[in-house]
Structure formats: structure tokens, C-alpha cells
Structure 1
Amino acid sequence: MLEEVNLEQNEDEKEIVSQGVHNYSQEEDYVWPTDDRVLKKLEWFKDQKLALMMHWGAYSQLGIVESWALSDADAEWSRNCIDWDVSAEEFKNQYFNLNKSFNPVRFQPYKWAEMAKDAGFKYLIFTTKHHDGFCMWDTKYTDYKTTGKDCPFRTHKYADICAHLFEAFRRQGLGIAAYFSKADWHIDSYWSEKYARGKYQWRGPSYDPLEEPEEWERFVQFTQNQIKEIGTNYGQIDIMWFDAGWVTKEISQDIRLGEVIDEIRKYQKGMLCADRTIGGPYENYVTPEQCVPDKPLNVPWESCITMGTSFSFKYEDEYKSPREIICLLVDIVAKGGNLALNIGPQPDGRLPQGAIKTMEGMGQWLNKFGECIYETRVCAPYKKDGVAFTQKEKEGKVYAIHTYTDESILSKEEIFIPYIEEFKNIVCLNTQTEVEYTKNEKGIIVKLPKEEQGISTIAHVFCLNR
């Protein structure tokens, strides 16, 4: 009976996540909040546009995909960079002991926050714990944490990583989103060898919660206690961001998330909850992963995409250029979404130099052109003929953003903007000058002003004043 249930759960769960990448909820599954404070917070969320996402934990020491290699059901794709002469059980034992060597003595939370602000980020999404269960805060419910007796980092002044990182980002005026995995592969009330499966583990619990309700309730209480700990002991939390979409009532893994979120909201007024892939009243925005929807969504959303090739730190990783990131951001914002751009910190506590270089380039561009990104909303025709549109309706401003994937801008003399609504004049933000144009039934032909080469060659940005 247990084996049959687990096989059925695996089939259901495959639709949620494939090779560590989650699917995302559809618009028809979205439930608009009824709490006015949550609705107000959603407007704040839609203003922000750009988040710094960080996957950081003991796994960064290995330079492999975070957590997933622990799951025997995910071995085929997640252990491809691990010595296959090492048995699965030996590897899992070595992985779980990484807390004993995690010692990021070069961690500088206030420096991270300064760099994030300068790069144009508006809020932080930080992994308080991933599926492996290693906690980046001083939780009292497990010793598997940065402040635990076996972790050498416990004596460092920044040992409670979440506490210091959240405070550092708040001081820069940036929002805080706490990533939390609903699955925990370290705690024995979720994964345990005493049940029928033995040592073989998949992403879900090692038992059927319907057949072992007391064991499941033990896990529920542990999980709820940790969520409340973050939500009440770590200052203002703007968003709680929940991963592990297979932990859901529909496949008998009900952690009763709603009741704990309702309790936290007594203190964190209007706090958003992103219960990924679940739909319903506690998925306040949807989260495409490593992809961008083809068209605008009519609900709040945020794409989480890596700056490099991996969410966790990867040795000698290659990072997207400022041009690639800005083009990606423009595409997302024109469709009404936010970009959560992920960087995996190094095991020593520093950010990779390749990531820092891209952040600096992003900041230069957004410092000059940020008005067409931040606090904007969608504007038809959204994106057409290589031009993306955003608007600030109350200010009577429409922005037309023509991005360039290379330096082809240098040979252009004019640009076509497929916009047919009325407006008074057009200002090119590259030069802060009014430009000449002609109109026809399909749109506007703008004569490009001369400008110096530099960061503005990533895009031409025009403000159409209505």
C-alpha cells in the first residue's frame, strides 16, 4: 500500500517540478486577496521590479546543485558531477556533514547590501533554508544551523546570517523576502530510514502521512514553528517565499500553511505569501522559474532566473552580461512582472567577481534609465517590433524601450515605435532631449539624436508625454 501511494505521489509531483525547476501556476488558479493590506502590499511589490535572489548554504562548498543530489529519485540529473565511485549513502553522509566545515569568514552583509542597492535591486529573496534543512538563522528547533555546535562559523559575529543580512538590506531601504523550503530532508520527521522504503528517498516524506498521522503532525509542528520564528523574530518581512511545491494538501502533505501565515500577519501587516505552484489564497504572486511567460499575465508574477548557470555557487561559472540582464528585465517588466535575479555567494562569504562586474553594469544603466522600469505598469502593445512599453499612467508618461542584443545601435539613424495613441512630445532619455519624429497609421518614426557611446547603447529609451 505504501509503495503504491508513493508511486502515485511521484507522478503527481513530476508535474510540479522537473530537474529541480518548478512549473508555475496558471492565471485561472489565482485567487485575489481580500485583505486590503495585502492588496496594498501587492502594489508595492509591482513597483519594485528587481529582486536579488540568493541561494547560499553549506552546499556552496561543493559547487554543485543545491540539495537535489540528496534525493535518490533525482540522482540521474543531480549527481552528474559527483564521483560515481562514491555510494549514494556515503555521499549523503558527506553532504549532511558539510555543516562542520561551513565557515564563510569573508561574509560582509553590509557590503552585500550596498552593492545590491547600487546595482538597482529593490528587495532581497534569501534562502533561510533549502530542502537539505541547513538553517541560515539561529533557530531553536534544530542544531543543523550556522550557529550550531558543529558549525565553525558559530563563533563569528555574523553567525546568525539571516539576522545580519536582513538588517543590512533594510538599512539600505530594500525589502525582505524570506525563502523557506517546506520540505526538510534532514529532519527525521520527514526523512527516516525506519519506514518501508529504507534508505531510498524521493523528494517527499519517507512514509505515507495518511498512515502515520502522528509522525506527520510532528513534522507540521516543527515546520510551523520555524516559519513563525522567522516571521516574528527577524524584523519586518515583506514576503515569505515558499519552495517545494510537492508539499501540498493535494498529495497528503498538508502543513496547514494558511493558519501560520494568518497568525504571522497579525504582526506583519499585509505580508505577502508566495506558496509556489499551489494556487489559492496563499499564492499571492506566481513564480515562473528560469523562463519568462510569452505574454503579459493578468496576475502578479515574478520570474526567478540565474545570473550564472546555477542557483547555487558553481566554480568558474559564467555570468550574463549587463546587456543580457537589462534586455531580460525590460522584457519581464513590459509583461507586468518582476525579475528575481539569482546570485550564488561563494563558500568563503564573498560574491563572485563575475557577478559583481555585471551588477556594476546593471547599476550604471538603471541609475540613468530606471524611471522606465520602477513603479511602472503594463502598456499596450506591451512588446512589439523589438520595442517594449511601460507606463506611469498618473504622470501621463509612456516609455518605449528599444533594446539591442549587440552594438547594432551604432549604425542606426532612426527607430520605428509601433504606438498609435495620442501624445504631446517625445523625449529621448539617452540624451535628455526632445526628438524629431513623423507619424503614420502604424506608429512613429523617430530620428535618433547623436550621443556618446557607453551604457546607453544597451537600449534607446523614449518618453512619450501624453
Structure 2
Amino acid sequence: MKRNKIQILLMLAMLSPLSLVKAQWTGKREKPAKTIDVKYGTITRPNRTDSAMVAFRNYGLGQFIHWGLYAIPGNEWNGISARQGAPASEWIRTWGGPTAPKNWLNIYDNLYKQFNPKNFDAKIWAKRAKEMGVKYLVFTTKHHDGFCLWPSKYSDYTVANSPYKKDIVKQVVDAYTEQGIDVFLYFSVTEWTNKDCVTSIPKTADEKARFDRFLKYTKNQLLELQTNYPRIKGFWFDGTWDRSWVNSYEFTYNLEKELRKNNPNLIIGSRFRNDEHGSRHFDSNGVLLGDYEQGWERKMPANIDILDGNDWDCVMTIPPNGWGYVKNTDGMYLKTTDDVIDLLMRSRSMNGNFVLNFGPDGDGNMSKHENELITDLGKWTKANAEGIYNVSHFPLESKYGYYTVSKTDSTSLFLTVMNRPVNNILRVVFPKNSKLIPASAILLDSQKDLILKKANIGFDRDQNMYFDIIIPEDLQSKRAFLVKIKLGNAKTAEDKLMDAKI
């Protein structure tokens, strides 16, 4: 049977590694029917129980900061927007098409001569992050352009050669650590400005020699970061999609082992490397490569079952896309405090952390919208902390919002009410065989007692119990609120009523 060109292309796309990777984040994960021999698979045991990973699971809310030379243009140049010519603000160096400035690469690569953030103060950033309720930070040491925000001795393209000169990474690590916020360092492997960064699989002798230098350079920088900033908790890797890096599975396997040897509690996400069969994030048998799933970037799991018990976090931008500073956000939807609360509690209900990204401008300022988010979210997380941190998934669903349960007290259940019912009655549903059922309820932020009563609605052959929690009509709430439900032993038996005879 003959197939046209479009059909063939569609078939190839369905079989491509890229489509398989996408399926890991968009649909049901299918493990291979037959186990494949994997030599360069996972290094750490699944679901680590050390103190570092226990802390990771309890973080709840994180902050991501994308900052570098791309903050200077802010996704535009001389009043011309790069929206139609670059995929994101931090990718502005790749600006192409009719709107791109003449000699743009040369202009961009010399922006380091202007990098002098007069308002940058890591202590203010850290203080505000703590006010917001942040428990961990992911900070860009260098993005794909290769510009280092620390004075790396392995590169001249660093902050040391900018007018600012001072070590930004050190200031950030120190300031956040002093506020009790754990720090993870973002590190891009690929480097657009590095002539030794061969993106395809090296074939010629020259390409092989160059890429060997690049691998050594990458290793040296990572070891340098570990040495310079020993208080960091982990690495967040990016730019690991190049075929040359994918083909270097033995090198990356041994590099991860060395990084972990230097710090046995180091946390590394699933994005760092792949196995010898080219499988990324998960090895060819579906086993997680790293300590947590790092693929939930601007997306969420459909349900907890997809995660198969793996640790994970969701990293999210405030505009639809673009992690770095965007000077002109006209026409862009900017996520609100309510959006962030919804995403945060959805993540927590599935045992994940939620990490909100910020893109300071070239002077080191957060935007007005970002500052408003910090203030509003901080008030909310402070009032509802008990239901956000040190909690886990509870195996019930609610049409009103999301459940979390305390890890230290299994009788403390929290319902985040995103959708307030018009009749002010929260009807919570428990299976009849539950050993613990609702005994009392309060509004978490005010500690006000709520009326709770049993509500047998009498469905035939119903396997559930129903409990009504009454929200006071005079409760004025402009955003989501948490109800703390105290669970008690199920002592009262349901009256035995006749089921319908069919």
C-alpha cells in the first residue's frame, strides 16, 4: 500500500524520541513489555530517605530566578519587540527574521560590557522570598548564552569581566541560606557562544577534539561550583538535549557519580543525562534517572497515578512563556495570586512542589507585578502554612478544591476551597469503610469553628458517607481558603436500610 509523504512524516514523528519524551508528560506512561539491559541507568535509589530528600518533599513552595545578560534587552531592542523572532525572552540571542537588529549576535555577545545591576541586592531578594513563603530557590549560574554569574576560572565570559565584577552567585547563595532557604543552582550544559560546544554527534577529528575539551570544561565548571558554594543542595540542569551530550552517556554517568561522591546528599533532577539507548528522564525500562521528575515545566500531572510514586516539582512562569525579564508585557496574561494558589495546592495535593519563576530586570529589580505577587502570596501562605508544608496526598477527590493531610498527624486533613458552593455547604465524601471520618472542622486562617454534620443522602447501594461543613454566610473571602478537618474514629454505624431489589 502506498503512503503519501505526509503520512510517512506523521509515522516518523510518532516514533521519534522527541514524541516519546512528550508522551511521558502528556499521557499514560507505558513501560516496555520486556526488560532492556541498561548499564548507564539510575545511580541513586528511588525515593531516597535521607534528610535532604525529606526536606525536598516538604518544601511546598519554591522560587526560580532567571537572570543574566538577557535582562538588559528585556525581550526587545531599540523599541522593537523580539516576540515574533525569538522563542522566549531568555532566548533573545537567537533572534532571527526581519525584525532582528543588524549584527544582533555581536550586539548581544557584548552586552556583558554593560552588565552593572545598580539595584541588585541579594539580601532583599532573599528577605522577600522568605516573606512569600519560599523554602527553596533555583538560581541561574549561566544560561544558554554561556555568560557566568560567578567568576569562573575556566571562562572569560563571566561577571568578573563586566563592570559589576562581583560574584553574584555567592551573594545569592549566602543571602538565601541565611534566610533558611535552600539553594539549587541552575546550570545550562549547552553554550551558544562556546566554539567547542558541538551540538551534533562529533564525526571529524577536529569536532571530537573540540567536544572533548567542552566535556572537560563542563566538568570543571560543575566541580568549581561545588567547591565554591558547598552549601548548595543540588543542581537544576538545562540544555541537555544536544545529540552530542546524549551520545556521551558514559561521561555523564561518571560525572554524576563524581558530583554525588563530593556530596552524597546532592539532589539532581531527571534532566541531567540519559542511558546508552538515548532515553532521557527515565531509562529504557522506565526507571527515573535522578532524584525527582524534572519534566513538569509549565505543565502539571493529570493525576497522581501518572507519577508512579516519584518525587517531582512544577516550575512555572508568570507570563505564558519567557523566564527572563520581559519589558513590555502588553497583551500577555500574567498569572494572578489566585492562579498561583491554585497551582501550588494542586501540586501539594499530588506530593509535588510548586516553583514560581521571577525575571528581574537589568538593574536587579523585580517588576511591580512580581512584587505584588510576593506580598499577596506571602500573606496567604503565612495564614495557611499548616496545610501547605509538611503535608502529603490524601486519597480522596473534592469538587471544591484540593486535599492535603499532615505528615506528622494523620488526623489533620486540609481542604483548599477553590470553588465555594453557592449554598455555603461543603459536602465531603468518605468511603463507608473509612477508619477515620470527619469529627470537627475549622477555618484554618481564623481558627473559627465550623458546623459539621452527617448527611446520609440515601443513594441505593451507596458505598459512601457524606458530611456537610457549613461555611458562615458572613465569611468574606476574596480568594481560596483552607478548612482544617479533624478526623476521628468511625464509631457510629450507618443505619441499615433496605437496598432496592432489582
Fold-level similarity (TM above 0.5): yes
Cα deviations across residues 38-90 of structure 1 (Å, max 9, x unaligned)?
7442221110011100111101112229xxx9xx9979x97799584466882
* Letter paired with 1:324: D
> Is residue 326 of structure 1 aligned with residue 341 of structure 2?
yes
Percent identity of paired positions between Structure 1 and Structure 2? 25
- Indicate the SS of the match to 1:419: strand
Higher mean displacement: 255-264 or 231-240: 255-264
What is residue 277 of structure 2 aligned with on the other side? none
Partner of 2:73: 62
- Contact residue 190 and residue 242 of structure 2 kept, 8 A: yes
CA deviation profile, 1:22-47 (whole Å, cap 9, x unmatched): 96996959958339977442221110
Q: Which runs of 5+ in 1 are unaligned?
A: 1-7, 192-203
Q: CA RMSD in A?
A: 3.5
Q: 2:410 aligns with which of 377, 396, 399?
A: 396
Q: What CA deviation, in whole Å up to 9, does each residue of 1:328-373 have, x standing for no partner?
A: 1111111111111111111111111110101111110110101111
- Letter paired with 1:404: M
Give the equivalent residue in structure 2 for 1:378: 393
Greater per-residue helix proportion: 1
The match for 2:468 among 429, 445, 456 is: 445
Which of 210, 222, 231 pairs up with 1:227?
A: 222
Preserved contact between residue 119 and residue 363 of structure 2 (Cα < 8 Å): yes
TM-score w.r.t. structure 2 length?
A: 0.76
Q: Which residue of 2 aligns with 1:308?
A: 319
Contact 1:402 1:459 in 2 (8 A): yes
The alpha-carbon deviation at position 418 of structure 1 amounts to 2.7
Which residues of structure 2 form unaligned runs of 5+?
1-11, 33-40, 77-81, 272-279, 457-463, 489-502
What is aligned with 1:283?
A: 290
TM-score normalized by the length of structure 1? 0.81
**Secondary structure of the residue that 1:380 maps to in structure 2?**
coil
Measured after TM superposition, the shift of residue 449 of structure 1 is: 3.2
1:34-433 mapped onto 2 (5 Å cutoff): 34=45, 39-64=50-75, 84-85=97-98, 90-148=103-161, 151-154=162-165, 159-190=166-197, 204-205=199-200, 207-208=202-203, 212-247=207-242, 251-254=246-249, 256-276=251-271, 277-280=280-283, 282-287=289-294, 288-296=296-304, 297=307, 298-309=309-320, 310-317=322-329, 319-381=334-396, 383-404=397-418, 411-420=422-431, 421=434, 422-423=436-437, 424-433=439-448
Q: What amino acid sits opposite 1:140 in the alignment? A: K
- Choose 1 or 2 for highest CA Rg: 2
**Aligned-residue offset at 1:259:** 2.4
Partners of 1:436 and 1:446 within 8 A in 2: yes
Corresponding residue SS for 1:279: coil
What displacement does 1:284 show? 1.1
Partners of 1:74 and 1:313 in 2: CA distance: 14
Asked whether the equivalents of residues 379 and 398 of structure 1 are also in contact (C-alpha less than 8 Å), the reply is no
Using a 3 Å threshold, how does the CA distance of structure 1 residues 219 and 391 change in structure 2: closer, same or farther? same
User: Could you tell me how far apart the structure 2 residues matched to 1:351 and 1:305 are?
Assistant: 16
What is the letter of the counterpart of residue 222 of structure 2?
I
User: Hey, what does 2:480 align to over in structure 1?
Assistant: 458
Q: d(CA) in 1 for partners of 2:183 and 2:147? A: 20
Distance 1:141 1:260 in 2: 17
Q: Secondary structure at the match of 1:418?
A: strand
Count matched residues.
426
Look up the equivalent residue of 2:146 and give its one-letter code.
Answer: G
